Amino acid sequence: MNGHKVSLWRFFERKPWRAAWRRFVEGAFARLFYGRPEKPGPWHQCTWMGVPTLKCPLDLWIYQEILWTRRPDLIVECGTAYGGSALFLASMCDLLGHGHVVSVDIRPWAERPRHRRITYLLGDSTSPAIFQTVRDLAFREGQVMVLLDSDHRCNHVLRELRLYAPLVSVGQYLIVEDTNINGHPVLEHFGPGPMEAVELFLEEDGRFLADRSMERFGLTFNPKGYLKRIR
């Protein structure tokens, strides 16, 4: 039985099938891992140091690699929720001995983690007041990286992309989370979301390229979402 399974695997790993087979396996696993709104998959129970973190753990590993190589001075996060991703980023900054996180959310939360490297801002990420505060912080820092993980509707993400892109330093990343929704490949009925916003943005802004090498683990919530500023 086991031998049978192994030979089936080997069959599909052969050259004529390999690419389609991998796409199928990766797509199936992405759907399984994500689940459905009424029955979310295991990512929904992801925590960092006890704080709920609404991310794919393989993306968090990629974040760690980016922070190590790019060493941003300021990480701007739109969309805090419980504060798990902000705490993760701050913990990485602790390990590097470098960096600060400013995280924006429209909703107050009773108990977000306190950390000397995190500043929380309350408000709409696209409001003039919030943006001005973030811009002032960014101007004081050298290297700036931005993560967009707030309202996932296309219009909002596109507004954020247009606003925050100029703050990203050359060589740093502008990461758009959850480009996998609206059928890329999960949550088919979401409607235009982050992926559609990224595609529109990349057509109008030649300073950024989608760095597909960041998707090399095969499972990511951010396909085409790791945008690197190249000029």
Ligand X SMILES: C[S@@+](CC[C@H](N)C(=O)[O-])C[C@H]1O[C@@H](n2cnc3c(N)ncnc32)[C@H](O)[C@@H]1O
**Binding-site ranges for ligand X (CB under 6 A):** 53-55, 78-82, 84-85, 104-107, 124-125, 149-151
**Closer CB to ligand X, 2 or 178, in the complex:** 178
Q: How far is the CB of 230 from ligand X (least distance, A)?
A: 26
Residue pair 192/142 in contact (Cβ under 8 Å)? The answer is no
**Closer CB to ligand X, 80 or 172, in the complex:** 80
Q: Which phi and psi (to 5°) does residue 212 adopt?
A: -75, -10
Q: How far is the CB of 118 from ligand X (least distance, A)?
A: 12
**Closer CB to ligand X, 73 or 151, in the complex:** 151
| 174: β partners | 146, 227
Counting Cα atoms < 13 Å in the Cβ hemisphere of 2 gives 0
Of the candidates 139, 144, 142, the one whose C-alpha atom is nearest the C-alpha of residue 66 is 144
**Closer CB to ligand X, 123 or 185, in the complex:** 123
Of the candidates 42, 19, 16, the one whose C-alpha atom is nearest the C-alpha of residue 30 is 42
Q: What is the largest CA-CA distance in the chain?
A: 64
**What is the full DSSP assignment across 2-22?**
HHHHHHHHHHHTSHHHHHHHH
Q: How far is the CB of 217 from ligand X (least distance, A)?
A: 18
**Closer CB to ligand X, 150 or 169, in the complex:** 150
Q: How far is the CB of 194 from ligand X (least distance, A)?
A: 11
Q: How far is the CB of 55 from ligand X (least distance, A)?
A: 5
